């Protein structure tokens, strides 16, 4: 989740949004409540790492922006977590190679 939020801000460095707004661009409305907590925790972590900047807009609401002074660190985080995810997917695919063969050619006859 944190990687996806950072990717959004890296592509849209002028963007500013609340946790609720970030959750909306990421999810369908029916999943917003279950995801709001995840987004809130991810945004809090990104702020604690100084990758995002929190800007209060009212006593109860804040928006978040990319911390431009930490852009390289954000890009590194997105790249590293993307590679980790790709590696995990590749390992999972290689875990059961016989399943892929059966899916392409159908079940073995015998």
Give the pLDDT confidence score for residue 87 in this predicted structure: 78
Q: Tell me: pLDDT of 30 over 50.
A: no
10: Cβ contacts below 8 Å, ≥ 6 apart:
66, 71, 74, 75, 78
Band of residue 15 on the pLDDT scale cut at 50, 70, 90: confident
Of residues 110 and 23, which shows the higher confidence score?
Answer: 23
For residue 41, CA distances in Å to 1, 25, 31, 77, 101 come to 9, 17, 16, 17, 41
Beta bridge mates, 66: 52
Give the pLDDT confidence score for residue 102 in this predicted structure: 53
Each residue of 50-109: pLDDT tens digit?
Answer: 999 999 999 999 999 999 999 999 999 999 988 888 877 787 777 766 655 555 555 555
CATH domain 2-104 topology: Arc Repressor Mutant, subunit A (1.10.10)
Give the pLDDT confidence score for residue 28 in this predicted structure: 46
3-state secondary structure of 60: coil
Q: Tell me: pLDDT of 31 over 70.
A: no
Strand residues in 1-110 grouped as ranges (E): 52-56, 62-66
Of residues 29 and 6, which shows the higher confidence score?
Answer: 6
Query: In the chain, what are the domain boundaries?
Result: 2-104
Give the pLDDT confidence score for residue 71 in this predicted structure: 97
């Amino acid at each position: 989740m944190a990687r996806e939020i950072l990717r959004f801000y890296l592509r849209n460095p002028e963007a500013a949004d609340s946790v609720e707004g970030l959750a909306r661009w990421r999810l369908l409305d029916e999943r917003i409540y279950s995801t709001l907590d995840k987004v809130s925790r991810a945004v809090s972590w990104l702020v604690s790492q100084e990758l995002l900047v929190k800007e209060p807009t009212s006593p109860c609401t804040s928006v978040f922006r990319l911390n431009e002074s930490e852009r390289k660190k954000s890009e590194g985080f997105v790249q590293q977590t993307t590679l980790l995810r790709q590696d995990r997917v590749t390992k999972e695919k290689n875990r059961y190679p016989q399943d892929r063969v059966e899916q392409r050619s159908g079940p073995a006859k015998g």
